[in-house]
Amino acid sequence: MDIGSDVPPLTPAGRRIVDAAEELFYERGITAVGVDLVAGHSGVTKRTLYNRFGSKDNLVAAYLAERDRRWRSAVHAAVDASGSAEEAVTAPFEALRSWTARYTRGCAFLNALAELPDPQRPGHRVAAEQKRWLLGLFEELATAAGCHGPATLATRLFVLHEGAVATAPLSLGTVAAAGDLARALVRAAVRR
C-alpha cells in the first residue's frame, strides 16, 4: 500500500498546513496541538484547514503520510547505494543513522501509535502501515540476498530497528550498535 496515493496534490495553503502540522505535532505531540494553533502557525484560517482536510484526524494522517513518503525515499536511497544484496538488507539502519541525526525527538510513527491507540483512527492506520512496510521490506531484501529464514531474520531486524528508533533520543549510541548487530545477523544468515 502506498500511503497517501489517493490524496490529491497539496495546494500552497495545504502544503503550509501540513508543514506547520508536522513541526507542531512532532515537537509538541498530536494530542497537545489543536487546529487553531496549526492554522495560526501556517497562516491560514481554521476554515481553510477544515476545507482541505476535513478534520484534525485527517490532518494527522496527512502529516504522517508525508513523513512516511520522506522516510521511504531515504530508505530506498540507502538500498540503492548499497554495494551488494547483503548490504542492502541493513540499508534501513544506514538511513536511520542520518534520519535520527535530523529528527531527535524519536519516531513520529511510534509517537503517533502511542497517542492514537484506536486502530480506526486514520493516523494510527498510517503509522501502523509504515511499520508493516518496513517489516516487509526487510523480508524482501533478506530474500533477495539469499538469507536463510528471511521471514525470521526480517522480524529480528525489525525489532532491532524499532528498538534503535525508540532509544535514539537517549544518545547512547544505540543506532550505531543496532546497525552493527544487524550486519552480524545478516552475515550469519547468508553463511548458512
Give tens-digit pLDDT for 151-180.
Answer: 999 999 999 999 999 999 999 999 999 999
What's the DSSP call for residue 11? P
Cell numbers representing residue 32 in the block: 497537545
**Quick one: pLDDT band at residue 9, thresholds 50, 70, 90?**
confident
Give the global pTM: 0.91
Contact 110, 167 (CB under 8 A): no
Per-residue pLDDT, 4:
47
Neighbours of 17 (CB within 10 A): 26
Mean pLDDT in the chain? 94
Checking if the pLDDT of 5 tops 50, the result is no
User: Average pLDDT in the 30-38 region?
Assistant: 97
Q: What percent of the chain has pLDDT over 70?
A: 95
Query: What is the rounded CA–CA span in Å between residue 97 and residue 77?
Result: 13
